[in-house]
Amino acid sequence: MPSLNRPTSPHLTIYKPQISSVLSITHRLTGVALFVGSALVVAWLWAAAYAPAYYAEFHGYLASQWGQGLLIAWTAAFYFHLANGIRHLFWDIGKGFSILQMNFSGWLVLLFTVAATAGSWGYIYQVMGQ
């Protein structure tokens, strides 16, 4: 298609960010991020099954500061996509469409994401004794 330099009507940038739209695009972003992150799961399984001699080294990368940061971000993306996905499943059966319900469930998803991520890593650090 030829790119004509025509004026375009105001699009996303004209809107004030709202909980509905922000969570919607975040669902996509976390989905794609989790797909990228799933390569890590494949690599982890590969290391354990086919390169056991290097497993400790692989574990070392994940346990490093960078690795932990990545895993914490990955965990948060996972809990968000899980909770917001369940929100989507309720919409699929026609529940929760009122503005009040949508805003409430949206904030609930964010609250769950923060609480579950903090809870999981709080537990991990407690167990690992760091």
Partner 1 sequence: MVHSSDLRTELGKVKGLGSAKHGVSHWMWQRLTAIAMVPLSIWFICAVVGSLLSPDVVQVATWFSSPLHAIPLVLLLLALFIHAKLGVQVVIEDYVHTPFMKYALLLLNKLVCYVFIVISIMAVLKLHFLNIGAGV
Q: Interface residues with partner 1 (CB under 8 A)?
A: 1, 28, 31-32, 34-35, 38-39, 41-42, 45-50, 52, 55-56, 59-60, 63, 75, 78, 82, 85-86, 88-89, 92, 120, 123-124, 127-128
Residue with tokens 């369940």: 86
Nearest C-alpha neighbor of 71 from the set 31, 102, 117, 116:
117
Which CB sits closer to partner 1, 8 or 100? 8
Nearer to partner 1, 22 or 56 (CB): 56
Q: How far is the CB of 88 from partner 1 (least distance, A)?
A: 8
CB-nearer residue toward partner 1: 59 or 102: 59
**What is the residue whose two structure tokens read 């080294």?**
57
Nearest distance, CB of residue 50 and partner 1, angstroms: 7
Min separation Cβ 35 and partner 1, Å? 4
If phi over 0 gives left and psi between -120 and 50 gives alpha, with beta otherwise, what is residue 96? Answer: left
CB of 98 to partner 1, least distance (A): 22
Question: Which string of b and e fits 43-78 if b means at least 16 CB within 10 Å?
Answer: eeeebeeeeeeeeeebeeeeeeeeeeeebeebbbbb
